[in-house]
Structure 1
Amino acid sequence: MRWEAFLERVQERGEYTTAQEAERAARVVLALLGAHLVGQVRAELAARLPETLALVLLNPLQAAEPLTAERFVHATAAWIEGATETTAVWDIGAVLSTTADAAGDDLMERILFQLPPGYDVLFGRPQPGRRP
């Protein structure tokens, strides 16, 4: 997906007034996500993102342990200046739903397999029978 198209979708979904706000959210969320994905799955997702964001995903913020979906929201709020947990959920949804569109169903299934329960909802793709 092209840089402009990705950011336009994030900006639209996040209802950001500027592309800079969308970019800030995308960089933080993808940097945190990158710490939780490994191997071929992370490489395949990076290949489907704009180059700048692929590099963010491949050079993630360090995580000592996998974050639950709830802790992922807390971490996002901590990394985005002025964010609250409520706005972080909004930021995450805008970025991860756009990321899910770029990834496609097969790759998303493999991504969600690597993540703790609850991330399916953050990606805007709740899985039947899975509880957050």
Structure 2
Amino acid sequence: MVLRREAFLDHVRERGKYDSTGEAERAARVVLALLGAHLVGEVRARLAAHLPEEFALILLNPLQSAEPLSPERFVRATAAWIEGATEQTATWDVSAVLSTAADAADDDLLGQILLQLPAGYDLLFGRPRPT
């Protein structure tokens, strides 16, 4: 299922409790650009296929990352890219965007995404895995 841009941003806005669609869009752009640097090949392309075109392109043309970031460093990187963000607000931003992306993807794809990421991202996607 591909979410329309408005529906995707509405979900992010609701989950992030943002005052405006612009805030939700800013969070989505940053988080997906960082996520895209951590996913490769077919998995990244499959997730992009579930996103609105504008956000799919951001995922497919990511910010460069020298190494996979732990969930904590991913949140810190998000905070660094969003003006006025703290680690606490960035955690909220990351979770709002990634849980919306997880809803767009099927369970099989989400499992493959989590295999490409360091441990702990399941919580950011709002899908805690049994330990």
Shorter-chain TM-score: what band?
over 0.9
C-alpha separation between the residues in 1 aligned to 2:100 and 2:44? 16
Distance apart, 1:55 and its partner CA: 0.3
Which residue is equivalent to 1:122?
A: 124
Number of aligned pairs?
129
Distance apart, 1:121 and its partner CA: 0.4
Distance apart, 1:104 and its partner CA: 1.6
Write the deviation string for residues 3-38 of structure 1: whole angstroms up to 9, x where unpaired.
000000000000001000000000000000000000
User: What letter matches 1:30 in structure 2?
Assistant: L
- Tell me the TM-score normalized by structure 1: 0.97
Distance apart, 1:59 and its partner CA: 0.4
Distance apart, 1:90 and its partner CA: 0.3
C-alpha separation between the residues in 1 aligned to 2:31 and 2:111? 19
Computed over aligned residues only, the root mean square deviation of the Cα atoms, in angstroms, reads 0.4
Distance apart, 1:110 and its partner CA: 0.3
SS of the aligned residue for 2:130 comes to coil
Aligned with 2:85 (options 83, 86, 90)? 83
Q: Percent identity?
A: 74
Distance apart, 1:89 and its partner CA: 0.3
Which residue is equivalent to 1:112?
A: 114
2:2 counterpart of 1:20:
no
Which residue is equivalent to 2:45?
A: 43
- Tell me the TM-score normalized by structure 2: 0.98
Distance apart, 1:69 and its partner CA: 0.6
